[in-house]
Structures are given as structure tokens and as C-alpha cells.
Chain A
Amino acid sequence: MLTAEFLSRLQFAWVMSFHILFPAFTIGTAAWLAFIEGVWLVKRTDLWRDLYFFWLKIFAVAFGMGVVSGIVMSFQFGTNWAGFSIAAGNVVGPLLNYEVLTAFFLEATFLGVMLFGWKKVSDRMHFFATCMVSLGTLLSSFWIMSANSWMQTPTGYAIRDGVFYPVDWWQVIFNPSFLVRLPHMVMAAFISTAMVVGGVSAVYLLKGRFVDRAGVMLKLALAFLAIVIPIQIVIGDMVGLKVREYQPAKLAAIEARWTTESSVPLALFAWPDEEAEMNRYAVEVPHLGSLVLTHSWDGEVKGLKDFPRDERPPVAIPFFSFRIMVGLGLLMLALALVGLWRWKRGTLFSGRGYLRAWVVMIPSGFVALLTGWWVAEVGRQPWVVQGLMRTSEAATKLPVGSVLASLITFVVVYIGIFGAGTWYLFKLFRDGPLPAPQRGQPATPVHGGRRRTPARPLSAPDDPMGD
């Protein structure tokens, strides 16, 4: 049934899912740029400078898209989630405000130097600016993940008349799940970016373009993934343990466990039937569930039937999203390990099938990131603040027509605008890492060497859109 609350949830999922991709890519490319520039400072070869300027353009467009979609986010909580803003604004508001302040402080200072200061400041100062931008993106994710983790595992608050008051900011910020969920998100952003770096390089190698640059990037991407994905799996396991401790209903939904049992199997596939409270067509591995979730051969896992029906999350979305995320994670790991083996044998660049696999898997990091986010958010339902405030209490009592109108508008406009933006990113990738200007030459020849260049992210790349 189309209620205003349901439409508001759909709308939030839509604008959030779009928004999250761009900051995640920004976090990854900023760190990647800091690495590239660091190497350039040591090696001083054209290859590294060209790579820097190539990824700088990509970064600029992603940053611009993130700012545009972020403006909408800063109003959503008031327009559609007035109940949440009134009840939790005292606690969540300052965290989100710090995120905004951090992001804009960044834009106001080091981003300008990074994008347009190549000729104006020393090499070391420019590298410093890049590092600060990277640090800034991480700080932004710090505040956002703190706010979101507080909604999952709230601490440091008091409730008076249905309103949350901060009692201890330290406990609010460093709530129990924050310190594992923050690195999980940051690693996901890094991995998503590394998949793009490696996949784009594979495209160049398949086409025989920029072979030297692409070779370096592909090796870096797969070495990075081979190290970081195992770390991410360990962190993910730690996140799972926190979920078991603080949000057992979410864990039961993720695993589609209906009854509380020890030595539970792991369902590889199933069709969860919420009405009948059972799984159909289940394919299960005995004991593996207990082993993974509790780290013991016959550990106990809570089942959904232990919770009243109105305190259970939907099962299908967390269950399938989680399997997509983990499946893609394992595929990405396999891709990296096969790459290492081929690298050792000297056949990394010669196998077209292997390179094509990279191309196909370019979006897999982002898909895993999105599905992981859906697991976290849908799995928390029916709560907006775990165990304390229901999503239905959080939603603004709006006329259905208003929310329907806004939802349709956001869908149409986002597809159009971010479609155009993503298409422009594709075009930048197609152009590839062309030779970048030497020092002393104009940084961007099209600007005609003007000193007064605009200091805006989206104007950093000067390629025409072409149409």
C-alpha cells in the first residue's frame, strides 16, 4: 500500500543510494591521488604526472556530483523525517553538521590548491594539499558513519519526553559499532575505486592504448586488492559480531534464521517466506553458520521467531543483499589472486579473457558497497534508532500526493542529471591519461594560460561533453 511513510522511505533510499556512490568514489580517488603524487615526488617521471592529472579530472567530477546530491540530503531529514529530526536532532544534527563543515572547509581551502594550484605552489605544498583533501574525505566519512552507527547502536544519550539528549559526546561519537563500521565503509570505498582503476586499465590494455600507464595501474590495483580484500573480510566479520551482539534480529534476517538454534547451517541460497516463517528451496552447508557467525562449531544463533512480528526487519532484502555483497567480495578476491599468479608467470597482460573479466567487474565494488548499505539500513528496520524509535514515528505525516510528486521528480531528475554526469565520466575515461602539462606551461592549455582559473570541481576537467 502506498503510504506517505513508505514513499518517504523509497525516496530516501533512492537519493541516498545515488549520493553514496559519489562520496565513496571521492574517498577512494583522493587517497589514490595522494599515492600517485607521492610516487611522482620521488620518481619525477612523466608517467606519474600524467596519471595524476588524469585521475584529478575524474576526482573533480565525482566530487562535484557528490556536492550536488549532498545538498538534497541536508534537507531530507527535515522535509520527510521531521519526527526523527525533532527526536534525534539534538544528537544526530551536530554530527551531520560537522560533516558539512568539514566538507565545505575542504572545498574552501585545499581543494582549490589541489585542482588549480599546480603552477602556483611548490610541489611539496601541492602534495600536502592532496593529502589534506584525502584526509578531509576520510573525516567526512568519520562523521557520517558516526551518525549512522549511533542509529544502529545508540549510546551516550538520555531520553526525556520522547526526545534524545546528548549526555556524553564521546560515547555518542564512539558508539559500540562505529569503530568497526567506519573502516568497513572506508575499505569498501577503496576497493570500489581500485576495481575502477584496474578495470579501466584492462580496457586500455585490451585496446592497446596507454599500455605502459595501464600496466602500472593494473598491477597496483590488483596488488592493493590482494592485500585489502582479506583485511576487509576480517573487518566484515567483526561487523557481523557487533550485529550479533547489538542487533540480533538484523543478523537473523541476514541469515534468514527463523528459530533459535545452536550449530546452525549457512544458507547459500533460499527463498525466505515471511508469512510461513520458513525458507523454501534452501541450499545449506551444515555447521558453517555457527562457525562464521559465532566462531564456534555449534554456537547459538537467534531466530526471528524470538522477536514479535512488529519488531522483525524484512528478510528478503537483507538476506539477498548480503549474499550479493559477500559473493562479489569473494569474486573480487579471486580476480586479484588469479592476477597475482599470472603476474608471477608473466602472463598478466596477455590473457584477453582475464582482462575482460576485469572490465566486467568494474562496477562490482560499487554494487557490493550499495548492497552492504542496504543490509545495514533495511536490517535495522522497523527501527530508525535501534530499539528506541520506530521508522513510522520518524516519518513526517505528509499528504501522499506530495511525497509521490517529490519521489517521481527525484527519480526523473536524478536519472537525467547523474546520467549526464556519469556519461561525462565515461568520456573522460575514454580519452584516457593523455600527457599532462609540464611545469611552467599552462596547467590546462584550453584556459589559454590565464592566471585566473575558476576554482570549482566540475570545471577542472575541460573536455567538451561532445554530443
Chain B
Amino acid sequence: MDWATLLPVVWFFIIGFAVMMYVLLDGFVLGLGILLPFADDEGQRDHMMNTAAPIWDGNETWLVLGGAGLMATFPKAYAVVLSALYLPILLMLIALIFRGVAFEFRFKAHSSRWLWGVAFSVGSVLTALAQGLILGALVEGMPLTGGKYVQGAFGWFSPFAVMTAVAVVFGYALLGATWLVLKTDGRLQRIAFDLTRPLMLAVIGFMLMVSAWLPFLDSQLMERWFTGAHMLWLSPVPILTAVNAVLLWRAVLKNREVQPFVLALCFFALGFIGLVVGMWPNIVPPSMSIWDAASPPSSQGFVLVGAAFLIPAVLAYTVYSYRVFRGKVLAGEGYH
């Protein structure tokens, strides 16, 4: 296998990994923002945000890594996807700015504290919606004419994309709720427990609906899943997902503290892997393959040298910072 064949595969998985890390890690922080209105008072909102305060901005690293990595290694996919999804991307960026800045300024403000809380919450919901729209549009496929997307400013808008947008909001909320179960106790943990059950039902429901809808999309995303031998070696993914759903269900009913969060992460990861496997070997379904979109080996190889050093370092730092901040965060115990 020559470099021009191999490197795009390597980079497809690096970028896929970066995006998955982002979805898992920032997912639960966005979930906190989505759940913020369910808190009793400002004190509980402080408490919720404090559980993620020390680690949230490291999570965004993965998104920027994915974005900049895409430009360097798959410039055609970067250009097509970002320009076709102009408005959802804009919505996501603005919402992320608000969410991030509100996170910091809320702890420094007094009379405008509630306002930054609202900005945090609205920013989180809009970020999740935008990411869901982007996901839906990508899964549904972007038909290209002469290498260009010609569906106009709202070409991405469809019932399927709307459903994935709502699904992502519920999914992140589930991650946020199980994170709170893990990191808090007392009244706030009770609220989180109560939220977890309906959220879990909703997320399992959405997962089934998306799976049922996929075969009817034009993107042929699911072709691989149902063709001959693939079915056999891919079968662990849906089986594991089903087992995961059952385990999650039981862990939540038994009021476990750690398992729901871990299982919710696994649930997300399995769903993500399922989609990535379905997309393969396309990076922009239905027709742009990773080899069509790839920059030449000299570009991909050049960046790979740096990535090989820096991605392990960022991973190590992520592990380290989560270790440092492990354990329960008590009410009134702030990092600010």
C-alpha cells in the first residue's frame, strides 16, 4: 500500500478520534448548560458549573484540532462541508463563544450573574442544536455537482436534520445528567437522577428512530451495514449498543452513581463508531471519498509528524487533569 492510499486512512481515523473526543467531553459540559434551567436556584447553578469549571476549555481543544486538521489533510471536504453548512456553522461558533465567555464571566459578575447564566444555557442549547444539524446534514449526504454544493443557504434543512438536532440536545442532556449524578450529592444529585430516566428513554428512542430512518436516506450510509459479509463482522456494534442500552437502563434504575455516566459515554461512542463505519470510505457522503478529498502525501505526512508528538501530549494532559479533579464536588465548594 502506498502513502497516498494509507495516509488518508490514518488521518480519517485521527480526525474521527478528535471529533469523538470532542463530542464525548464537551457533550457533558454542554449538557450541564442544557440542564441549567432545571436547577432550584443560583447556588445549584454555581454547583453544576463548578463540576466542569476546571476542565471545560481543554475539551474544546479537540474541536479546533479536528477543524484545523481537516483543512490541512482533507481541504476539499473542509471547504465543501463548511461552506455548505454556512449557517449552522455560524450558529455553532457564536453559541460556543457565548457559552465559553459566559462560563468565565458568570463567576466574576455580581448583578449581571443571572444574565451570564442565561447566556451559558442558551449558548449550550444552540451549540447542541447546531452540531445536531451538522451531523444530520452530513449523514443525510451532500450531493455535489462538479465538486460544489449547489443546494443554497438552507439545503441542509430537512426533517432528518431537525430530528438529529433534537436528538443531540437530549443526548448531551443525558451526558450532563449522568455527570451530575457522578460528581454531586444531596438535592442536586436527586434532581439529576430524576432527569436521567426520561432522558435515557428519549435517547434510546432517538437511537432507534435514527437507525430505522438511515436505510431510507439517499446517502447510502447504511449500505455497508446490510451487504453480505459486512453484516457479520459489524454485528458486534449493534449488539453492543443493545447490551449497553440494557445496562444503562438497569444502572439508572438502581441509582448507581458511576455506571450511568460511563455507560452513557459508551452509548455515544458506539453510536459515533456506527456512523463512522457507515460513512467509510466517504468523508462527505454520498460521493466524496477520503482519497478524493485528501491533500497529497507530502502535506498529510508533514502534519502527521507534529500530530504524532502533540496528540499524545494533549491526551496525557486530558487524563492528568481529569485525575486531579476526580471525586465529588461539594455544594458551595468553588474553583472561583
Give residues in A with beta carbon < 8 Å to B: 64, 67-68, 70-72, 74-75, 77-80, 82-83, 85-86, 89-91, 93-94, 96-101, 104-105, 107-109, 112, 165-167, 169, 396-399, 401-402, 405-406, 409-410, 413, 417, 420-421, 424, 446-447, 450, 452-459, 462-467
Partner of B104, one of A71, A79, A94, A459: A459
B81 partner residues in chain A, CB cutoff 8 A:
78
CB distance from A426 to the nearest CB of B (A): 14
Among the stretches B28-36, B105-113, B167-175, B180-188, the one at the interface with A is B105-113
Partner of A459, one of B53, B65, B87, B299: B53
Cβ of B101 and Cβ of A417 under 8 Å apart?
yes
Cβ of A459 and Cβ of B107 under 8 Å apart?
yes
Cβ of B80 and Cβ of A82 under 8 Å apart?
yes
A97 partner residues in chain B, CB cutoff 8 A:
68-69, 71-73, 303, 306
CB distance from B33 to the nearest CB of A (A): 16
Partner of A71, one of B82, B97, B325: B97
CB distance from B53 to the nearest CB of A (A): 5
A96 partner residues in chain B, CB cutoff 8 A:
68, 71-72
| CB closest chain-A residue, reference B90 | A406
B148 partner residues in chain A, CB cutoff 8 A:
397
Cβ of B325 and Cβ of A465 under 8 Å apart?
no
Interface string of B241-285 (1 = CB under 8 A from A): 000000000000000000000000000000000000000000000
CB distance from A69 to the nearest CB of B (A): 8
B68 partner residues in chain A, CB cutoff 8 A:
74, 93, 96-97, 99-101
Partner of B335, one of A80, A105, A166, A452: A452
Most buried by A among B60, B68, B298: B68
19 extra A-B contacts, CB within 8 A, seeds A85-B71, A91-B299: A64-B104, A75-B89, A78-B71, A79-B90, A86-B79, A90-B75, A93-B299, A94-B299, A108-B313, A166-B296, A398-B153, A406-B90, A413-B98, A447-B336, A453-B54, A455-B321, A457-B57, A462-B336, A467-B111
B78 partner residues in chain A, CB cutoff 8 A:
77-78, 85, 89, 93
Cβ of B83 and Cβ of A108 under 8 Å apart?
no
Cβ of A413 and Cβ of B94 under 8 Å apart?
yes
B98 partner residues in chain A, CB cutoff 8 A:
413, 417
Most buried by B among A98, A108, A466: A108
Partner of A105, one of B58, B153, B314, B325: B314
A72 partner residues in chain B, CB cutoff 8 A:
93, 97
Interface string of B303-336 (1 = CB under 8 A from A): 1001100100110011001001100000001011
Q: Chain B: interface secondary structure? A: helix
CB distance from A418 to the nearest CB of B (A): 9
Count, A-B residue pairs, CB within 8 A: 206
What are 16 A-B pairs with beta-carbon distances under 8 A? Answer: A85-B75, A89-B75, A89-B78, A97-B72, A101-B65, A105-B310, A166-B296, A169-B302, A396-B79, A406-B86, A409-B94, A413-B97, A420-B101, A421-B101, A452-B324, A459-B335
Cβ of B83 and Cβ of A465 under 8 Å apart?
no
A399-B90 CB under 8 A given contacts A77-B71, A93-B71, A452-B324: no
The 4 closest A-B pairs by CB, nearest first: A89-B75, A78-B82, A93-B72, A82-B79
Cβ of A456 and Cβ of B72 under 8 Å apart?
no
Q: Is B209 an interface residue (CB 8 A)?
A: no
Cβ of A454 and Cβ of B79 under 8 Å apart?
no
Most buried by B among A64, A67, A105, A166: A105
Partner of B61, one of A82, A108, A112, A467: A108
Cβ of A101 and Cβ of B310 under 8 Å apart?
yes
Cβ of A467 and Cβ of B112 under 8 Å apart?
yes
Cβ of A71 and Cβ of B76 under 8 Å apart?
no
Q: Is B43 an interface residue (CB 8 A)?
A: no
A410 partner residues in chain B, CB cutoff 8 A:
94
A71 partner residues in chain B, CB cutoff 8 A:
60, 63-64, 93, 96-97
Cβ of A68 and Cβ of B100 under 8 Å apart?
yes
B56 partner residues in chain A, CB cutoff 8 A:
456
Q: Is B159 an interface residue (CB 8 A)?
A: no
Cβ of A100 and Cβ of B90 under 8 Å apart?
no
A446 partner residues in chain B, CB cutoff 8 A:
336
